[in-house]
Amino acid sequence: MKKVISLARYPRRCGDSLRVIGLPNRAVGVIFLVAVAGPCLTGCTFIRHDINAVDFHERTTHVEVGKTTSDELRTMIGSPPQSILFTDDDESVWIYSFGQAKTAGLTLIVFNAVKTNMGLDGALFLIDKDGIVKRQIVSNNSQDLPWEWWPFDEDD
């Protein structure tokens, strides 16, 4: 004959099964909440912004001083200049701005540590009165811009 044990003699309270290593139910709930919600409240931020064309430096290498016309220059760059300055001897200076910015950081609900590195460049093209590129100057400040996310560097 089987022995039947009545469960009525062993009453259980709600939540008794959550007891871990002798911790009260409330402590277990808080630990569970922090373990699950904590990673949801943090994150890393990585954003790259390009100003003008991404491959602007490469596009300017195709310009041949003394041969490239202003129409060809506009086609090579892919956009009209941002500014045009006219000289007294019927020449013009076409000015382009380009570069990039990189933002990286640690984002928390209460604390954010974010840093943005920005490199801006300029390109100047001297166009003669016949519409031929006479001279070009292109800066390289935005080349190989590093990712840095800690904003408290001493060497800035």
- Is residue 150 a part of any domain in this protein? no
Q: Give the integer Cα–Cα distance in Å for 29 and 139.
A: 59
Summarize pLDDT for 59-69 with one digit per residue, the tens: 888 999 999 99
Structure tokens at 130: 């016949």
Q: Is a pLDDT exceeding 80 seen at residue 148?
A: no
Q: Is a pLDDT exceeding 90 seen at residue 124?
A: yes
Q: State whether 66 and 83 are in the same domain.
A: yes
Q: Is a pLDDT exceeding 70 seen at residue 131?
A: yes
The predicted model scores a pTM of: 0.62
Summarize pLDDT for 91-115 with one digit per residue, the tens: 999 999 988 888 888 777 677 778 8
Highest mean pLDDT pick, 16-20, 39-43, 115-119: 115-119
Q: How many Cα neighbours within 13 Å face the side chain of 74?
A: 12
Q: State whether 48 and 84 are in the same domain.
A: yes
- Is residue 35 a part of any domain in this protein? yes
Number of domains comprising the chain: 2
Q: Please list the alpha-helical segments (H only) found in the chain.
A: 25-37, 56-60, 70-77
- Is residue 151 a part of any domain in this protein? no
Q: State whether 89 and 104 are in the same domain.
A: yes
Q: State whether 113 and 95 are in the same domain.
A: yes
